[in-house]
Amino acid sequence: MRISRVEVAGGDWLLYLGARVSRSSKPVEGMIGEATPKRMELLFRKLLVWGHLSVFEHSLIRVWIEDDPEEVKSRLFHWKFVELSEDEGLLSMNPRVAVEMIERGDPEVRELAKRVLLHFPILSRAVGLSSEGGGPGVGFRVELSSEEVEDIWVHMLLSSPWPDPRHGFHAFLVEGISRVCSHQLVRHRALSFTQQSQRVSQVSGYYLPGHLDAELRRRMEREVERSLKTYYGLVDAGVEMEDARYILPQACTTRILISGRDSAWIHFIRLRAAPDAQREIRLVAQMIQRLSGMEPSVGD
């Protein structure tokens, strides 16, 4: 396939953040600050060996193809995470599908995948491709746009809009939400998620709805704190966190990195910023909408 241009929304740094969020409690700046090319490549290699490819969904690659759109569709129609705008010869995919194309695509599809993956220098080396450049390296900085409501934080990590929302891309880190809220978030399967793991990260707080009657809230707080006290006691007694977590309440807070096409985000905002959405996820959706400027349209 003839490629005239490749453009990346995200990059190795965003893939690395996606991987680290599941195991780290450090702030974004701390995770980026420890990211050397060697460390990133080693982590990517481990993820590839383990088959944990979902992390590699946290970026978008826009590719302008000069071939006949019908031929391109016939080669790519069965691949997930690929979108094609025939009128402008633009297709977009994420690095995960490019990795999968290298493993089992036909020769032309594999060649396409190799060419686009070279725009991710560190991931390219991890999958065995020759790649120049060192990626973000030490000192790479993410320009965060953040908002907080009721101790819930939403950080916009990346904004890369496009006239056709199928090719626009945004990434957010959401912190301080309950497991109730995160369970609702991950139902939006057109988006990609990496959530902090309770197997390896000790729970440190909880969230309860701010609109509750004060006495009812105190009753809930007592029960949550009782469960947490038992949890900490089990961990101190030598019980592995992955086993002790069985008694944790859904109020326990978590952090989650979410990324995806603007078409999926617009659908999310339309549903979750609506007045009838549960209050916690509504707060998150409204912050995402304000930070990104994305607006639902009729028929999205």
- Which pLDDT value is given to residue 135? 44
Q: State the pLDDT confidence band at 280, using cuts at 50, 70 and 90.
A: very high
- Pick from 37-41, 72-76, 176-180 the range whose average pLDDT is largest: 176-180
Residue 12 vs residues 102, 257, 261: alpha-carbon distances, Å: 18, 15, 18
What spatial distance separates the first Cα and last Cα of the chain, rounded to whole Å? 31
For the annotated catalytic residues, the residue numbers are: 272
Return d(Cα 119, Cα 98) in angstroms, integer: 11
Instruction: Express each pLDDT in 52-77 by its tens digit.
Output: 999 999 999 999 998 888 888 888 88
277: Cβ contacts below 8 Å, ≥ 6 apart: 271, 285
Listed in order, the ranges of the chain carrying CATH 3.30.1360.170 are: 3-126, 143-300
Angle of CA points 113, 119, 124, to nearest 5°: 65
- 241, 211 in Cβ contact below 8 A? no
For residue 282, which amino acid is it? Answer: R
Residue 260 phi, psi dihedral angles, 5° rounding: 165, 180
- Which pLDDT value is given to residue 296? 84
Give the number of other Cβ atoms within 10 Å of residue 23's Cβ.
Answer: 13
For residue 106, which amino acid is it? Answer: D
Q: What token pair was written down for 6?
A: 């490749």
Q: State the pLDDT confidence band at 51, using cuts at 50, 70 and 90.
A: very high
Instruction: Express each pLDDT in 228-242 by its tens digit.
Output: 999 999 999 999 999
- Which pLDDT value is given to residue 211? 87
Instruction: Express each pLDDT in 219-229 by its tens digit.
Output: 999 999 999 99
- Which pLDDT value is given to residue 204? 83
Percent above pLDDT 70 for the chain:
95
- Which pLDDT value is given to residue 300? 54
Q: In this model, does residue 48 exceed pLDDT 50?
A: yes
Fold of domain 3-126? Gyrase A; domain 2 (3.30.1360)
- Which pLDDT value is given to residue 134? 44
pTM over 0.75? The answer is: yes
* DSSP output for 43-68: HHHHHHHHT-GGGGGSSEEEEEE-S-
Residue 77 vs residues 66, 81, 117, 232, 246: alpha-carbon distances, Å: 17, 10, 20, 50, 42
Mean pLDDT, rounded, for 172-197:
96
- Across the chain, what does the average pLDDT equal? 91
Q: What token pair was written down for 77?
A: 């129609």
Q: Residue 23, SS3?
A: coil
Return d(Cα 66, Cα 57) in angstroms, integer: 25
Give the number of other Cβ atoms within 10 Å of residue 70's Cβ.
Answer: 8
For residue 40, which amino acid is it? Answer: M
- 143-300: CATH class: alpha beta
- Which pLDDT value is given to residue 1? 79
Instruction: Express each pLDDT in 89-145 by its tens digit.
Output: 999 999 999 999 998 888 989 999 999 999 999 999 999 997 554 444 444 567 789
> In a 10 Å sphere around its CB, with 0-12 CB exposed, 13-18 middle and 19+ buried, how is residue 188 labelled?
middle
Return d(Cα 98, Cα 172) in angstroms, integer: 22
- Which pLDDT value is given to residue 52? 93
- Which pLDDT value is given to residue 237? 97
- Owner of token pair 């990626």: 135
Q: What token pair was written down for 209?
A: 């709805």
Mean pLDDT, rounded, for 157-168:
96
Return d(Cα 285, Cα 269) in angstroms, integer: 6
Return d(Cα 235, Cα 227) in angstroms, integer: 12
Q: Which of 123, 135, 140, 133 is nearest to 47 (CA)?
A: 123
- Owner of token pair 């030598």: 238
